[in-house]
A and B are shown apart, each in its own frame.
Chain A
Amino acid sequence: MENGMLIKTTDLTKVYPMGGQSITALDKVNLSFAKGEFAGLVGPSGSGKTTLLNILGSLDVPTRGSAEVLGEKIETLTHRKAAELRNHHIGFIFQTFNLLPVYTVYENVEFPLLLLGMAPAARRRAVLAALEWVHLSDRARSRPAQLSGGQCQRVAIARAVVKKPDLVLADEPTANLDAENSHHILHTMADINRDLGTTFLFSTHDDKVISHLRRKITLIDGRVAKDEPGPAAEKRP
């Protein structure tokens, strides 16, 4: 992989069998992402955005072609290796927040660090720092049900970035949020991207998200239709 490249896909193809037929969700996608990018996948519904994020996040495997993420070929990873890659290097943010409902905010953010086996003192520092980034230090003891949607998503961001991953994959992170919260979330992520150098890759329909992107990739029918600098490209750090 070229120097500084975090992700590289080569003729990445995903075909879902559907009864007798099959659906080509991704069709020979060739994309590379460098460290520190703040990029988004846009495109109509069903164009393959989620499928691509899932494969890059090692939650799914390509049917053909290759996806190399942090030097690992996703198509060759065992289940255990894939889990390890996610655990150490990748954070996920979901449209529906996906917080663990019985855990407090603090415990939700702590979860990935527990999996990493981090020592208690370091863990505590990291969780408090992450809550600081998303401005939720005062809600550490709350449970998800007691928070607004915007606050939930901020907890999810804290959970995704608390282990300082190389890559954060966010699938429509603002789809369930109002305009103000969406901007707030995007600012938070842009700040983390700037301060920690974390690479962010979004999928989105949302113009508010698009306006923050420094790179915008348009997928149509599983193909890369356009790959252009985004509206925020000039803000490149």
Chain B
Amino acid sequence: MIIPKLALRNMLGAGIKTWLNAAVLSMAFVTIIGAQGLYRGWDADISRIMTAAEYGGGQYWVKGFDPYDPFTLQDAHAAVPPALTERVEAGKATALLYVPATIYPGGRIRSVVLKGIEPGQKALEFPSSALAGSGAELPALIGNRMAKAAGLAKGDTVTARWRDARGSYDARDLTIVEVMRTSVQSIDEGQIWMPLQTLRKMAGMPGEATMVTLAKDIPAPGAIPGWDFKGLDLLLKDIRDLIAAKQIGGSIVYVILMFLAMLAVFDTQLLSIWRRRKEIGTMMAMGVTRGRAVALFTLEGGLNGVFAALLGAVWGIPLLAYFAKHGMTFTSEQADSFGMAVDKGIFPVYGAGLVLGTTFLVFAVTLIVSYLPARKISRLKATDALRGRMS
């Protein structure tokens, strides 16, 4: 136990130098935990709001439907099978019909998807009720991004043109009865929501749907011929991959921070061993073996990690706790620049695993970086060290 005690004594004795290194290192520390916590919070947040507004407890897609291939859309509809109808009627699911269309806002042409949803549905946290009771013949609901992109506002009408089930074109004016604010882009951009029954009539697809979304936590009833079940893992995969990619991009920042902090530790160690070579010689004369001297200096450097953790705790815990409590807020433009849903704010999540993992990482790297220069001591002759020389 003597070596740790001496190492601590030496580091505390070195005063300001020790705390400067610890300060630099603590910045890396808190940034890593903060950024990782932010990504985790974001991931949790996105999963939550997308699940609530769009994915529910998973979706049954009609066979052949591929959201990434607009050409599949035209034929992606079929009668809702009895097993699902039962759940829709029980309020445990909701059916959605997708019909590709073009609209002509302000004389320009835009491709959109008309999406039919039951105004009274309760399966999703989606403001479908806005489609009921407006009195408009063809009520339509759009998101704020879509409204902005197409230059549409509440009360406007817009001409839509679509092909019905038999393949003949039809065109009508839709009335925008509501513009919803949503943080979920995938229920907003390029789409127009309408009452399911109205859209079924317009498209000549009575009783049909493109997908049936289960309410949250409703278990899937099993395989249904002609329909493919898509679970949450699969539905959230894209967004999670995107977050993971951003996370990797973000980690470059802390690789740089860690590198700078480690450079400072390495430098201090190298200098310290050079400056204190006579001290090392003296210790050897008193019976400290080279191995113990190496251990002592490695541990001294490693203590930088401990001090950084302490210092980081002092200023980092209040800061991170503040963000965890109040969230990090973004304007809707900033939020959209993330390329995915950001709710009112992100509430970072700092798990014990994250904190312990980061602490362990910082300790391990600091020890390694401290050991490298300390290795020099193992080739040092006591007589040379005492004469102030270093071989």
Contacts and interface: CB of A to CB of B under 8 A. Distances in A.
Contact of A100 (B282, B290, B382, B383): B282
Nearest to A97: B282
A20 B133 CA distance: 106
B319 interface: no
Contacts of B281: 98
A34 interface: no
Contacts of A114: 2, 5-6
Contact of B279 (A84, A92, A100): A100
Interface in A84-125: 84-88, 92, 94, 96, 98, 100-103, 107, 111-112, 114-115, 117
Given A100-B279, A114-B2, A59 B386 contact: yes
B287 interface: yes
Interface stretch (B7-15, B25-33, B82-90, B138-146): B7-15
B279 A59 contact: no
B9 A102 contact: yes
A94 to B, nearest CB: 7
Interface in B274-290: 278-279, 281-290
The residue in A60, A80, A103, A115 that gathers the most chain B C-beta atoms within 10 A of its C-beta is A115
Contacts of B285: 57, 59, 86, 92
B12 to A, nearest CB: 8
Given A83-B284, A114-B5, A101 B289 contact: no
Given A94-B386, A114-B2, A117-B2, A102 B10 contact: yes
A76 B10 CA distance: 34
A141 interface: no
B287 A59 contact: no
B286 A87 contact: yes
Contact of A83 (B9, B279, B288): B288
Nearest to A86: B287
A92 B286 contact: yes
Interface string A12-50: 000000000000000000000000000000000000000
- Chain A: interface size category: 20 to 34
A108 B288 CA distance: 14
B382 A59 contact: yes
A54 interface: yes
A59 B281 CA distance: 9
A59 to B, nearest CB: 5
Contact of A98 (B12, B279, B288): B279
A102 B382 CA distance: 21
B287 A84 contact: yes
A208 interface: no
Contacts of B286: 86-87, 92, 111-112, 115, 159
A79 interface: yes
B289 A112 contact: no
Contacts of B289: 79-80, 83
A206 B310 CA distance: 52
A50 to B, nearest CB: 8
Contacts of B13: 101-103
Interface string B320-343: 000000000000000000000000
B228 to A, nearest CB: 70
Interface in B284-324: 284-290
B281 to A, nearest CB: 8
Contacts of A102: 9-10, 12-14
Contacts of A159: 286
A59 B380 CA distance: 12
Contacts of A117: 2
Interface of A: 54, 57, 59-60, 79-80, 83-88, 92, 94, 96, 98, 100-103, 107, 111-112, 114-115, 117, 159
30 contacts: A57-B285, A59-B284, A59-B382, A59-B383, A60-B381, A60-B382, A83-B284, A84-B287, A86-B284, A86-B287, A87-B286, A87-B287, A87-B288, A92-B285, A94-B386, A98-B279, A98-B281, A98-B386, A100-B282, A100-B283, A101-B13, A102-B9, A102-B10, A107-B9, A111-B286, A112-B286, A114-B5, A115-B2, A115-B286, A159-B286
Interface of B: 2, 5-6, 9-10, 12-14, 278-279, 281-290, 381-383, 386
Given A87-B287, A98-B281, A111-B283, 14 more contacts: A83-B284, A83-B288, A83-B289, A85-B287, A87-B288, A96-B278, A98-B282, A100-B283, A102-B13, A103-B13, A107-B9, A111-B286, A112-B287, A114-B5
